[in-house]
Amino acid sequence: MFTHNKRLQYTVRVAAPNPGLANLLLEQFGGAQGELAAAGRYFTQALAEDDPGRKDLLMDIATEELSHLEIVGSIIVMLNKGAKGQLAEGVEEEGELYRAINGAGNDSHITSLLYGAGAPLVNSAGVPWTAAYIDTIGEPTADFRSNIAAEARAKIVYERLMNVTDDPGVKEALGFLMTREIAHQLSFEKALHSIQPNFPQGKLPGMPEFTNKYFSMSEPSLRGPWNEGGEWEYVESPTPAVDGGDGSASVELSSADFDVLEAMKLRTASDPTANPVTGADLGSGYVLGNDV
């Protein structure tokens, strides 16, 4: 059961309308790193979670993300208030109105016109929200790592948004949202490491002969803790096939499949001695071996 408290989780104070900034903030409303994507990710994970502690954590954070969606949406609407009235009533000259809603040089005029200066579920480029943003795979040791990364990405987006506004109220609210990404990241880290062992993900171990082997596949080769040390076996300039085979692909076929495949190969075989006149030849003026 969900209930709604009409008061926001954090007070929104917008100093002045700014449609361009409102458009940028759509990234955290209907974008890949936004609050709706986060809420959907954690809510669906919570529904499938069998561990009561992790289920509670995921549901709590999913619900808070909806609160954050409400905050971001409220900021967007407040920033668009001036444009909303101007668009609806047309009291400005056309050119002045266009410049007013497009002052930041981005696509705010598109979202303002199409959505009436509201808060649509699109990103800052106008791309509609999609469930493809939710990357849950149903394995907590993988999903919680993805959640940690999602919170980190969202924090970075909030930092960048804070860097493009001098509105003190908006900057303060964005700072709160950014800080909650840190808190969620900490919770997810603790939940992940309360599962022991949690690496490698899933149930099956890796093939021991390849688990700690590093293949240097580019030149020049650089070394660091990612490929050197006691646990690493470093392979410089690896050659196929690393399993000791011949590196080819093969399949066991029944005699019937083999006969059909051979017939197809004969029917579609190329003639290496042919030199046919093609459409490209004709288009370039070459006809039957003569230059025209």
Q: Which of 27, 49, 64, 151 is catalytic?
A: 151
71/36 Cα distance (integer angstroms): 12
* Greatest pairwise CA separation for the chain in angstroms: 83
Please, which contacts does 257-260 make with residues 24 or more away whose CB atoms are closer than 8 Å?
none
| Annotation marks residue 109 as catalytic | no
Question: Is 159 labeled as catalytic in the residue annotation?
Answer: no
How far lies 156's CA from each of 28, 162, 246, 272, in Å? Answer: 11, 10, 47, 57
| Catalytic residue selected from 49, 64, 65, 70 | 65
For the question of residue 64 being annotated catalytic, the response is no
Which own/partner contact pairs does 47-55 have at CB distance under 8 Å and 24+ positions apart?
48/138, 49/140, 51/140, 53/191, 53/194, 54/140, 54/191
Which residue reads 């022991």 in tokens? 196
- Which listed residue (68, 209, 231, 236) is catalytic? 68
Question: Which candidate in 181, 189, 219, 262 is catalytic?
Answer: 181
* List 27, 49, 109, 184, catalytic entry: 184
Residue 193 is among the residues annotated as catalytic for this protein: no
In whole angstroms, give the CA distance from residue 271 to residue 263.
16
Lookup result for tokens 């920033």: 79
Instruction: Please indicate whether residue 4 is annotated as part of the active site.
Output: no
Query: What phi and psi values does residue 131 have, to the nearest 5 degrees?
Result: -65, -10
How far is it, in rounded angstroms, from Cα 32 to Cα 135? 11
Cα-based angle 78, 82, 88 (whole degrees, multiple of 5): 115
How is residue 204 annotated by DSSP? P
> Which among 27, 35, 64, 70 is annotated as catalytic?
35
Between CA 222 and CA 139 the distance in angstroms is 34
Q: Indicate which residues carry an active-site annotation.
A: 35, 65, 68, 151, 181, 184
